[in-house]
Structure 1
Amino acid sequence: MVKRKRLRAILIPVFLYAASAVVVGYFLSHAQNGARGLEAKREYKRQIFEKTVELETLKAEHAEWDRRIALMRADRIDADILEEEARKTLGLVHSKDVIVFLGSPGAH
């Protein structure tokens, strides 16, 4: 009888500590690798950084297009751009322009 009480006195705390260790291990593994764990947080931060870089690139491109569109507005047309587009469309050359013929693609 004394041996069973002594065995029980030893095994119950060991079992409780083991069960506690399993529960703590479960929560720690989910804190590290779960859907909202540390690994997911790192991945979200990486995605945020990539999207921020992409956003900055798109903002710069948008600003460039805004600048180019502003040059073509009717209230203030840039004369150089108008002349360049007119020459390109009409195929005309100014008398002071220098023309360099590169030759046909097949002739070397």
Structure 2
Amino acid sequence: MWTKQKRKSIKGRLVVPVLATAFLSYFGFHAYNGAYGIYSKEQLQAQTVVLNKQLADLTEQRESLERQVLQLRDGSIDKDILDEQARRALNLSHADEVTIIVDRGKKTN
């Protein structure tokens, strides 16, 4: 008795490798370019550096302002600082003082 053997087509042998390659390519692409991928991680680290620098600058500015406020508190007011800030804010001077106006745009020797 003769039996006919069915020969497997090449299409059947390529289905699994093609699907596996497509599957791995999809996840590989998104592992690098996705929202939580390697490229996004590098961008987040760069943004973290910039924001930490801004935080340090703002912290320094806040500490400076807190020192100025501490000097102006009741009971410990430094009269020179109070006088200087009042003159600057109100643009006032005493009658016996000489005012020198300096143009900051031009440098003088």
1:45 and 2:82 matched: no
Equivalence for 1:92: 94
Q: Which amino acid aligns with 1:84?
A: E
Q: What runs of 5+ residues in structure 1 fail to find an aligned partner?
A: 103-108
| Structure with more helix by fraction | 1
Equivalence for 2:106: none
Deviation at 1:80, TM superposition (A): 1.9
SS in 1 for 2:36: coil
Identity of aligned residues (%): 25
Cα contact 1:87–1:93 (8 A) shared by 2: no
RMSD: 2.5
1:72-105: CA deviations, max 9, x gaps? Answer: 11121113213434666552166xx7x3656xxx
**Matched residues in 1 for 2:37 and 2:87: separation?**
62
Q: What runs of 5+ residues in structure 2 fail to find an aligned partner?
A: 102-109
Equivalence for 1:69: 69
Q: Which amino acid aligns with 2:35?
A: A
Distance 1:87 1:35, change over 3 A: closer
1:26-67: CA deviations, max 9, x gaps? Answer: 100010111111111112112222111111111111001001
Cα contact 1:33–1:39 (8 A) shared by 2: yes
Distance 1:70 1:91, change over 3 A: same
Cα contact 1:32–1:39 (8 A) shared by 2: yes
Q: Structure 2-normalised TM-score?
A: 0.70
Alignment of 1:13-32 (within 5 A): 13-32=13-32
